[in-house]
Structure 1
Amino acid sequence: MQITPNKRIYFASDQHFGAPTPELSFPREQKFVAWLDEVKKDAEAIFLLGDLFDFWFEYKTVVPKGFVRVLGKLAEIRDSGIPIYFFVGNHDLWMDDYFEKELNIPVYHDNQEYTFNGKTFLIGHGDGKGPGDKGYKRMKKVFTHPFSKWLYRWLHPDIGMKLAQYLSVKNKLISGDEDVKFLGEENEWLILYSKRKLETKHYNYLVFGHRHLPMIVPVGEKAEYVNLGDWISYFTYGVFDGETFELKKFE
């Protein structure tokens, strides 16, 4: 993709709408819609890197109640001709084809490679990458298996959604009971993963979410690991203008 002069590519991740309750999530949804209204003015494309929702499950004829303003704004932007790309996170990993059919937004379940103005990008949510976290990796294989989705679909939506919200709020990161701290380059799994990927192929930017900490870390010659932060504590997003990548805060 060649970026049009004076246009930008925008990146955001980890909004977790619906957590810890719909009522407490609503102001964050309003703020995110205001951000979408702002960036659509000069957006060449928008990348959403997962965990847009704190939980998402698509029954054959039912999707989670709520999020109308967010979904409506995404539809408006997409209908205007601006491409939007969605990467599932660990909280919305059961996303299927609703976004593709209703919003014309492609959905990706793993990393994708892109080239913008000659700069190479590796883009994904970031969960289950790098060394360690073997328990989660095993759990993800179980959750993403077609049989698991088929089994969960037998729960009535009212029961399935309530159960999922209860389990999600138990996550201290989302409930606000835990401070996320930088662990150092030698202990940050996504930094280690980025360095390992660079051993076989060069990327200028390796862009992820999941970690909830906004950071740009050099990981090689002309290569940077980027974490987009979140829309719970930081309200940060990434901007690429064709030459450089920046993290900014939406006030």
Structure 2
Amino acid sequence: MKQPVVQLTIPEDKKVYFSSDNHLGAPDAAASKPREKKFVSWLNAIEKDAAAIFLLGDLFDFWFEYKTVVPKGFVRVLGKLAQLRDAGIPIYFFVGNHDLWMKDYFKTELDIPVYHSPQVFELNAKRFFIGHGDGLGPGDKGYKRMKKVFTSPFFQWLFRWVHPDIGVRVAQHLSVKNKLISGDDDQKFLGEENEWLATYAKRKLETAHYDYFIFGHRHLPMTIEVGKNATYYNLGDWINFYTYGIFDGKSFELKTFEG
């Protein structure tokens, strides 16, 4: 069923912020903690003028929700997200290939809606096509087949029977070591004609106009014109680049957080 377009009006003194691919927990908790603190510092910095915040997936390097258990850790970022929501700032979360097993925890505990597929938003009459980006466009067939397995209700039901101490440890190991499972790509720019998310955006433009395509997943900040008055942006990551997107109600740009 096609989801309705979400419309938001951005006041002149406010902005919309976009972030993706934090991979908190990777490669281990100790190495991840400074990045988590830096991300929280970014959230603190944007709090004063944020009209909305979009998190485009892979916030965690691994996430699986059992019926009564979620992965241990991440209290700083979860607490900050709860504070922002309590202050009335809308937050939208798109699952990535590392946290695709997210269910209703964010919705019930943090009042943050969770999207499992790309969604169209209209911000001040600008049309945004927003998603994590995994499994879209040509190629990547191995990961696409693997994703079908991981998103099947039967496979998830089987995984729930594994004790969390075992299941989480195994999944974390595979998340870091197995690129077919994780879906991560080498961080090399392939050229505007070969970047498959840009190709995907061009195909979407054949049936409808979008001003902006905003994705993560590639871990490379990039800007590619994909059509007349249509631009694809990749948000990069919070491992090497610490980049994010910002929309001031009129135009979109990528920036680097130096804090």
TM-score range, shorter chain: over 0.9
Task: Describe the SS at the equivalent of 1:238.
Answer: strand
> What is the aligned partner in structure 1 of residue 151 from structure 2?
144
Q: Secondary structure of the residue that 1:113 maps to in structure 2?
A: strand
Q: Distance in 1 between matches of 2:252 and 2:222?
A: 11
Alignment of 1:110 with 2:111, yes or no, is no
Q: Does 1:119 align with 2:126?
A: yes
Counterpart of 2:222 in structure 1: which amino acid?
M
- 1:169 shift after superposition: 1.7
RMSD of Structure 2 on Structure 1 (CA) = 1.2
C-alpha displacement of 1:172? 6.8
Secondary structure of the structure 1 residue equivalent to 2:120: strand
| 2:69 paired with 1:56 | no
Secondary structure (helix, strand or coil) at the match of 2:170 reads: helix
Pick one of 42, 59, 68 that aligns with 2:75.
68
1:86 lines up with 2:54 in the alignment: no
Partner of 1:98: 105
Q: Quick one: which amino acid aligns to residue 197 of structure 1?
A: K
Match of 1:190 among 193, 197, 204: 197
Choose the corresponding residue for 1:33, options 34, 40, 43: 40
Gaps of 5+ in 1: none
Q: Displacement, 1:171?
A: 4.6
3-state SS, counterpart of residue 150 of structure 1: helix
**Cα distance between partner residues in 2 of 1:9 and 1:83:** 10
- What is the distance in 1 between the residues matched to 2:159 and 2:229? 45
Identity among equivalent positions (%) equals 71
Task: List per-residue Cα deviations over 1:184-211 (Å, max 9, x = no partner).
Answer: 1221110100100011110000000000
Structure 1 stretch displaced more, 227-236 or 131-140? 131-140
Partner Cα distance (1:105, 1:19) in 2: 23
Give runs of aligned pairs for residues 40-51 of structure 1, distance below 5 A: 40-51=47-58
Paired residue for 2:217? 210
Write the distance in 2 (CA, Å) between the matches of 1:68 and 1:3: 30
Q: Residues 2-27 of structure 1: CA distance to partner in whole angstroms, max 9, x if unpaired? A: 10111000000000000000000000
Matches of 1:2 and 1:81 in 2, distance apart?
15
Matches of 2:59 and 2:35 in 1, distance apart? 11
Letter in 1 for 2:10: I
Give the 3 Å change call, closer, same or farther, for CA 27–171 of structure 1 in structure 2: farther
SS at 2:18 equivalent: strand
In structure 1, the partner of 2:4 is: none
Please give the alpha-carbon distance, in whole angstroms, between the structure 2 residues aligned to 1:219 and 1:127: 19
**1:32 to partner: Cα distance:** 0.2
> Given the alignment, which residue of 158, 162, 168 partners 1:161?
168
How many residues align? The count is 247
Q: Provide the TM-score with structure 1 as the length reference.
A: 0.96
- Give the TM-score, by structure 2 length: 0.93
Q: SS of the residue aligned with 1:114? A: strand
Partner of 2:5: none
Matched, 1:135 2:135: no
Q: Distance in 2 between matches of 1:161 and 1:2?
A: 40
Tell me which stretches of 4 or more aligned residues in structure 1 moved more than 2 Å.
none
Q: Residue type matched to 1:6 in 2?
A: D
User: Could you tell me how far apart the structure 2 residues matched to 1:205 and 1:199 are?
Assistant: 14
Task: Select 1:24's aligned residue among 25, 28, 31.
Answer: 31
Establish whether residue 8 from structure 1 lines up as the match of residue 15 from structure 2.
yes
